[in-house]
Structure 1
């Protein structure tokens, strides 16, 4: 049990913050729905409950994925995060279904809700809180991508660097983007229904929120299904190829694999070197290159093997280094 709580300290912090915040928001919205019966408020309550449950799963999964390899599981637990996220999206999927069903009922058989002021106040507060979580998640996206920006960068520049964020951070960002957008949509629907009497708009808003939730479900499911199987990170393959070929001791790259393991990357490479090097020199070069690769973003495990240079060029698909990656890093002394 003590190991479990120790691992929790290394869990994804944005997901924990988002989970706690969405729990508070879900309680607020649930109370408001109880007193008003507003369908748009019901949709937002389901959305926040789904997000909170999902993000608690993500936090625990990200923590457990950092558990050290054991004799029974020698490859470690990195992909456990992908499996947890696959399970977590089922919760959001169920909530999305309930949201759409309730929205359809309101759309086809509109019922006037009570407590207009309560709905507006609660939704306004929820939008502010959800935007705060979105902003924090955006900052974490930029941090994990190694990118600096101005005060608005977390909600502008972060979109272009989502592919470099950890799976848990990416999920929190996407969920709270949808949550903030859904809150604004629900608020607009409540205002229109109150001032125009067009009650069906609340049902339409509920359906739209449910569909946005389903989008997150499909996006997260597909990404983590690939991660659970073991997906190559093409950008980091190119990045590490640059790192290796820039070193004077490397003649060529024969093989290079960079596989996502949850939040981290596993790297295996076979490198061609000068066949005249002594065993000691080759051993020192192997250690140096391993440390160089380990110092790159998100790399947690590396295996470097050597082969004698045969005079042929094997690595021919080196492309221009993408701007979305951080600068090349040197290993710490």
Structure 2
């Protein structure tokens, strides 16, 4: 139990905040829907319920992914967060389907809803709360990218750095972006239905909200499927390859791999060194490179192997290789 509590403290904070906020919003929208029968509110209720459910799952998954490797699972649990995100999008997909179907039925058979003030109050409050969570998630994305900016930056430039964000943070940002846009859409639909008598506006809003949710489902599914399989981080691969190549004792690089393991990076390097060096000297080179690579953001595991310099230049600074050739790693005698 103590270990579980410790892990939960290290879970992704934006996803926990989003889960709590969306639970409160879902309850508000559920009350409003049952009192007014507004179909746009129904879609928003499903949206918030789906978001709250999978964000709780993602929070737990992000915490479990930080569990240290064990004898039974020597590669660690980094990809657990990707697997949890894959499961979470199923919940969103079901809610998306219900929102689209409910909206389509309303378009075919429009029914006037009541409770204008209640609907607008709930939707307005939800938009403010969702925007707050979106801002927090955007701020976390900038933090992951090493950018310290306030003001509107988390809502503007965070889009450019989504690829550098943790899987859980990225999911929260995308879901709350769609939730905020959906809230605005539902708000406008309620106004159109009440003041202009366009009753199908609420059904159209429900369908559009469902389709936006489907977009999140598709994007999150593809990204986390790649993460669960094991995806190369191209940017960090180039960066680490340059760091290794700059070491004065490294003659060449045979292979560099940087694979995403959930929120962390697994690095493997095969470098060539002068065969005249002693084992003790090569061990010092390894320790130096190990410390340097582990200092890089997100790197958790590093495996460094050496081969003797064959006199053939393999690594090119402009295009560092992922896998260049087969090899048998060995230390000099």
Taking structure 2 as the reference length, the TM-score comes to 0.94
**In structure 2, what is the equivalent of residue 205 of structure 1?**
205
Secondary structure of the corresponding residue to residue 83 of structure 2:
helix
- Aligned residue number for residue 62 of structure 1: 62
Please provide the CA RMSD for this pair.
Answer: 1.2
Unaligned 5+ residue runs, structure 1?
321-333
SS class of match (2:267): strand
1:316 aligned partner = 316
Q: Unpaired segments of 5 or more residues in structure 2? A: 321-333
1:36 matched to which residue of 2? 36
1:97 corresponds to = 97
2:110 match: 110
Q: Please name the residue that 1:325 is paired with.
A: none
User: Residue 241 of structure 1 contacts residue 318 of structure 1 at CA under 8 Å; is this kept in 2?
Assistant: no
Alignment of 1:82-231 (within 5 A): 82-231=82-231
Alpha-carbon contact 1:70-1:76 (below 8 Å) kept: yes
Task: Give the deviation of 1:307 after TM superposition.
Answer: 1.3
Q: Alpha-carbon deviation of 1:317?
A: 5.9
The 5 Å alignment of 1:157-306 reads 157-306=157-306
Kindly provide the CA deviation profile for residues 222-241 of structure 1, in whole angstroms up to 9, marking residues without a partner as x: 11111111111111111111
Q: 1: CA distance between counterparts of 2:28 and 2:315?
A: 57
Shift, 1:318, TM fit: 3.2
TM (normalized to structure 1)? Answer: 0.94
Aligned residues: 320
Deviation for aligned residue 1:29: 0.8
Q: After superposing the two structures, state which structure 1 stretch, 181-190 or 236-245, moved more.
A: 236-245
Alignment partners' CA distance in 1, 2:112 and 2:252:
71
The offset of 1:309, in angstroms, is 1.7
Paired residues of 2:242 and 2:317 also in contact (CA < 8 A) = no
| CA shift for structure 1 position 216 | 0.5
Deviations 1:306-328 (A, max 9, x none): 112222221126359xxxxxxxx
Distance 2:306 2:204 in 1: 62
